[in-house]
Amino acid sequence: MSQQFGTFTASELYCPKCRCAQPVRERLLLVLPTGELHEFLCSRCATSLGKRTVTGPAVTPAVREPAPRLTRPRRLLR
């Protein structure tokens, strides 16, 4: 019997709920300036089993700069 893991690279982690090692699903949690935070979920009960930060080439090459501060005098209208 062969198991199919699909295209994603599956690894197994110990799941305290299932009380045995389970294949995990990776989910993108949030995107940080330094990388991406991924979460590992148990493929059986969807318990969070761990997190990892993926650092690498930025997804968006163009760094968004903060808006330039305008030192424009405010006009006070009466």
- Interacting residues toward Zn ion by CB under 5 A: 15, 17-18, 22, 42, 44-45, 47
Q: Give the tokens for residue 61.
A: 């090459």
Q: Helix, strand or coil for residue 42?
A: strand
Q: Which residue has the tokens 């009960």?
A: 45
Q: Min. distance of Cβ 44 from Zn ion in angstroms?
A: 4
Q: Min. distance of Cβ 43 from Zn ion in angstroms?
A: 8
Q: Which is nearer to Zn ion, 18 or 35 (CB)?
A: 18
* Those residues with Cβ within 8 angstroms of residue 35's Cβ, 6 or more apart along the chain or in another chain: 53, 54, 55, 56
What's phi and psi for 8, nearest 5 deg? -75, 150
Q: Which is nearer to Zn ion, 11 or 34 (CB)?
A: 11
Q: Which is nearer to Zn ion, 36 or 38 (CB)?
A: 38
Q: Min. distance of Cβ 8 from Zn ion in angstroms?
A: 17
